[in-house]
Chains A and B, each alone.
Chain A
Amino acid sequence: MAMIEVENLTKKYRDRVAIDALSFTIDEGEIVGFLGPNGAGKSTTMKILTGFMPATAGKARVAGFDIFEKPLEAKRKIGYLPETPPLYPELTVRGYLKFVAELKGVPRKQVKSEIERVAAVTGVTSELDRLTGTLSKGYRQRVGIAQALLGEPALLILDEPTEGLDPRQRREVLDLVKSLAGTHTVVLSTHILAEVKAICRKVLIVHRGKIVANDSMEALTKGKETGLEDTFIQLTSE
């Protein structure tokens, strides 16, 4: 079953075309790397898929729900980590996660256990009572991911989840994402191709608002060690 179906999705900022008639589908349980140079339209696509921004034209369905017509149903299926982790510096990690759990409609009785679960998965259990404003960049990122995991959404949309993490944290986050394969669908945007190679089986490359590649990892690497880099640079050169 398709988790995400996108047809002719277009977004214009006044005269500038950010994404131009994108069409793709992502199946349930897949981990997809969403690549492209800066300004290619990755974040815009993610913002539209999560219902933050309406598209100028085209359709997008998440778990069968049209994001423009049935936004609440679609949003219930999505966990989203924006480019900047959306934290309130005045709240503690626990208070923050509780707030997000309430917004997501996690049943009252499960809120506490759900917070403990996502904190354990992302390794922030020891920091639960610290103010999010005093956390290091790595921990902020993790709390951002923890927030996305609340309520076990079927689809996770992560915009550069490893940004600002040290190598160990990077590996931990990637292992975490990898462990979600099968039960969750994950769309992951990043600049670091090695990360994509390590965990994604499918890759989507956008360039100047258009899809230039939508294929399995094997097809894009062509069996070579530097295959993905070569393909990426070749496709995004003009």
Chain B
Amino acid sequence: MRSLLAIARKELSVYLTTPWAWVVFTGMAFISSFFFIASLLTFKQVQDQVRQIPGGWAQVPPDYQLFRNLTDGVVLNLFGVILVIVLFAAPFLSMRLLAEERRQKTFELLMTTPTRTIDIVLGKYLGAVGIVVATLSVTLVFPLILSILGSSESGTALEWSTVWLGYFALVLWGSTCMAIGLFVSSLTESQMVAAVITFAVSILWMLIRAIAPNAEEPVRSILSYLSFDMQLQNLLKGVLDLRPIIFFSSVIAFFLLLTHRSIEARRWT
């Protein structure tokens, strides 16, 4: 347990000294603030238009109903964007996890101290999840701005329970990407190769739903069930659903197991 935490702590502190961390933080802040402003403007436009309609919100088509409040109209919109940024950023965050240990020969150190392989895997993974949480927490500033400056017809400007559930979904999603990245990183010494493969796997898995309509049943249902995109939908809308949580936990556990097996197998070559 102690070595697990030591590895996680080392991973985080080493990570914060690499330029990648700051590039990703900056990228996250820059891109998400761009979309934040864009969706704020849309939100304002719709609100202004609705005020000029005599019947008010009752006359507005259902597609526009989500612009009635800041939570649905701005924050949840933004989460959709952050989700995509995480998809692009995660491979760069996970690529060095094990690949770098191999390249610098520090892997020998981990394997010759009395540390179990499972502690190495979980320690690395815990550090990786910490990195994802750090990256996502950059975006907390947007809901904060809204809750301080925004207002609503009823109660608080933001529904914080929905916002937190959205963050939970994002962390879950980021953690899934990192689990895939950890496994890929255990296969190669090259960080670039690790990043590219991780990206390819996660984007294909995300978009697997796109080929579903052309497939026969039951393949179609299976494909859309397996797609990350499909699984994330409800959680990001603020609907607490147990199924995607179990789905992503299983995917994470599966990749951690693969990582464990891959580390053990590499010792034999």
Contacts and interface: CB of A to CB of B under 8 A. Distances in A.
Interface of A: 13, 47, 50-54, 71-73, 75-76, 78, 80, 82-84, 86-91, 95, 99-100, 102-105, 147
Contacts of A52: 108, 111-112, 267
A96 B108 CA distance: 15
Interface in B99-154: 104-116
B199 to A, nearest CB: 24
Contact of B105 (A82, A102, A104, A105): A82
Nearest to B105: A84
Given A86-B106, A90-B14, A99-B10, A50 B112 contact: yes
A55 to B, nearest CB: 10
B49 interface: no
Given A82-B105, A82-B108, A91 B113 contact: no
Contact of B114 (A13, A76, A86): A76
Contact of A90 (B5, B18, B114): B18
A200 B7 CA distance: 37
A83 B112 CA distance: 13
B106 A88 contact: yes
Given A50-B112, A88-B10, A103-B3, 9 more contacts: A47-B108, A86-B108, A87-B104, A87-B106, A88-B14, A88-B106, A100-B113, A103-B109, A103-B114
23 contacts: A51-B111, A52-B108, A52-B267, A53-B268, A54-B268, A72-B116, A75-B113, A76-B114, A80-B112, A82-B105, A83-B105, A87-B104, A88-B14, A88-B106, A90-B17, A90-B18, A95-B13, A99-B6, A100-B113, A102-B2, A102-B6, A103-B115, A104-B113
Q: Which 9 A-B pairs have the closest CB atoms?
A: A102-B6, A86-B109, A103-B113, A86-B106, A75-B114, A50-B112, A90-B17, A90-B14, A84-B105
A80 B111 CA distance: 11
Main secondary structure of the interface of B (DSSP, over half): helix
B6 to A, nearest CB: 4
Contacts of B5: 102
A53 B166 CA distance: 45
Interface in B1-51: 2-3, 5-7, 10, 13-14, 17-18
Contacts of B112: 50-52, 75, 78, 80, 82
Interface residues of B, number: 26
A12 to B, nearest CB: 11
Contacts of B3: 102-103, 105
A76 B268 CA distance: 22
Contacts of B111: 51-52
Contacts of A73: 114
Contacts of A76: 114
A147 B113 CA distance: 11
Nearest to B10: A99
A194 to B, nearest CB: 27
Contacts of B106: 86-88
Contacts of B104: 86-89
Contacts of A83: 105
Contacts of A103: 3, 6-7, 109-110, 113-115
B114 A100 contact: no
Contacts of B110: 103
Nearest to B15: A90
A53 B263 CA distance: 11
A154 B136 CA distance: 46
Contacts of A89: 104
A39 B10 CA distance: 34
A71 to B, nearest CB: 8
Contacts of A100: 109, 113
